[in-house]
Amino acid sequence: MTIVADLQRQLKRGGWRQILVADNPPIENTPVIRTEIRRCAAPTGYWQGGDKYQIGLNVRCFRTDDYPNEERYLITLTVNGLWLEDSRH
């Protein structure tokens, strides 16, 4: 969660803004979000940078037979041109 929180802080400092937060609340270090991740629900946040780029950021569980007792996570950052419509426009 430290990595995700730091990445989101960097996006905010860089002028990116979160979009679609009604259906996709920010990924924060809360019991609810941690439970979602452990259930492999992959909470996702969406960010928009100006009028050119959008980012999808999600965190999901990652299980491996080699380390069955370890909690592992996969953080995915997808960068695209505009593909989502923010309802505030």
In tens, the pLDDT along 5-56 reads: 999 999 999 999 999 999 998 899 899 888 988 888 889 999 999 888 999 9
Residue 75 has pLDDT above 50, yes or no: yes
Quick one: pLDDT at residue 17? 94
Entry pTM: 0.80
The pairs formed by 16-25 with CB atoms below 8 angstroms and a separation of 24 or more are 16/47, 16/48, 16/49, 16/55, 17/47, 17/48, 18/45, 18/46, 18/47, 18/48, 19/46, 19/47, 19/48, 19/54, 19/84, 19/86, 19/88, 20/46, 20/84, 20/86, 20/87, 21/45, 22/87
**pLDDT tens digits along 30-39:** 998 889 888 8
Check residue 38 and give its pLDDT: 86
Residue 84 above 70 pLDDT? no
